[in-house]
């Protein structure tokens, strides 16, 4: 390498530092050797360096966004065992992964007994949304109600609801697993009402819609919630055994297995709303 070429390489290094391009700086010497050996030309070298840097930045963005989304674990659709849940339409789930439901501000309901993959699917769809650059927030219902109740006590409920409305996709997990504290249903309704027709949601529940009055402690609140949550909705029912208990199913009493496989009742009819579109109209992707 001539003195002039060495000086230019030093300038490149200095520029890469100034531009905060650590991956390109790290790859520079190896890239220059490939040029000297005739493996690539200058344009290819520049392309490789920029791609490496973009890849690093994208990985950092995704990592930070996943952390902000508060996902308990990282799950993917590739890691979901569709063969274990034959009642589940794989094509329908993959259509949801196209994320058109987010643009339409729809609510996806994932219903089924414990262990059938509801939270896995919700998390995997949230990961897809993060990768696509969407702002995502994931939270179990019990934690969400606790957050809202705390905000109400501190006089900042409006601000908290506004924060939760910033997310393009809000995932509320485990509806029906724990009793909702008194007043929690009203707080959840305020959030749902604020996001209605503005932001998409994914809800997971092991309980049927007709049981929501019991879950939220008020049939009136449950009806108001479902009125909004079922207006623009995709309802996916998973009927099957628990994946977590697949190796120990024989140890579960027969009566519990029967209850475990029971399907949640159909959603109640809602007067005054136009009929929902057929699911096939939504899932054409």
pLDDT of res. 261: 41
Which three-class secondary structure state does DSSP give residue 170? Answer: strand
Q: What is the pTM of this model?
A: 0.79
Name the nearest CA neighbour of 241 among 220, 225, 262. 262
> Over the stretch 38-79, which tens digit does the pLDDT of each residue have?
999 999 999 999 999 999 999 999 999 999 999 999 999 999
pLDDT of res. 217: 94
What the block records as the tokens of 213 is 């009055």
- Residue spans per domain, the chain: 3-68, 70-282
Which three-class secondary structure state does DSSP give residue 34? Answer: helix
Which three-class secondary structure state does DSSP give residue 137? Answer: strand
The span from the CA of 85 to the CA of 234, in Å, is 19
pLDDT of res. 16: 95
**Complete DSSP assignment for 173-240:** EEETTSPPPTTHHHHHHHHHHHHTTTSEEEEEESS-GGGHHHHHT-HHHHHHHHHHHTTTEEEEE--S
pLDDT of res. 245: 47
The residue ranges of the chain whose pLDDT is under 50 are 245, 248-252, 256-266, 268, 271-285
> Residue 172 pairs with which residues in a beta bridge?
139, 203
pLDDT of res. 243: 61
φ/ψ (deg, to 5) at 64: -65, -40
pLDDT of res. 249: 47
φ/ψ (deg, to 5) at 172: -110, 115
pLDDT of res. 282: 41
The span from the CA of 162 to the CA of 274, in Å, is 28
pLDDT of res. 283: 38
pLDDT of res. 6: 86
pLDDT of res. 260: 44
pLDDT of res. 5: 81
Given CA atoms 228, 277, 81, 84 in this order, what sign does their dihedral have?
A: positive
pLDDT of res. 246: 53
Name the nearest CA neighbour of 201 among 167, 227, 225. 167
What the block records as the tokens of 216 is 């939220």
CATH number (1.10.1660.10, 3.40.50.9100, 3.40.50.300, 2.60.40.10) of 70-282 reads 3.40.50.300
Contact indicator for 223, 193 with CB cutoff of 8 Å: no
């Amino acid at each position: 390498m001539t003195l002039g070429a060495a000086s230019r390489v030093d300038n490149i290094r200095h520029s890469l530092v100034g531009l905060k391009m650590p991956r390109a700086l790290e790859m520079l010497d190896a890239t220059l050797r490939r040029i000297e050996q005739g493996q690539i030309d200058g344009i290819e070298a520049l392309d490789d360096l920029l791609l490496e840097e973009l890849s690093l930045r994208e990985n950092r963005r995704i990592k930070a966004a996943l952390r902000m989304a508060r996902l308990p674990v990282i799950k993917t659709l590739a890691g979901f065992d569709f063969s274990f849940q034959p009642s589940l339409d794989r094509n329908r789930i993959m259509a949801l992964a196209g994320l058109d439901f987010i643009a339409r501000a729809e609510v996806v309901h994932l219903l089924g007994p414990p262990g059938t993959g509801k939270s896995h699917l919700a998390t995997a769809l949230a990961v897809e949304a993060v990768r696509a650059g969407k702002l995502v927030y994931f939270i179990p219902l019990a934690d969400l109600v606790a957050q809202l109740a705390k905000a109400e006590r501190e006089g900042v409920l409006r601000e908290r609801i506004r924060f939760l409305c910033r997310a393009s996709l809000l995932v509320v997990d485990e509806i029906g697993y724990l009793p909702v504290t008194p007043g929690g249903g009203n707080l959840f309704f305020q959030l749902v009402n604020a996001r209605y027709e503005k932001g998409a949601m994914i809800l997971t529940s092991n309980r049927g819609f007709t049981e929501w009055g019991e879950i939220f402690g008020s049939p009136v609140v449950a009806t108001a919630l479902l009125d909004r949550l079922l207006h623009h909705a995709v309802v996916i029912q998973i009927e099957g055994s628990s994946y977590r208990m697949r190796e120990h199913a024989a140890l579960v009493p027969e009566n519990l297995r029967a209850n475990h496989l029971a399907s949640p009742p159909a959603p109640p009819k809602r007067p005054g709303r136009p009929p929902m579109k057929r699911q096939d109209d939504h899932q054409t992707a």
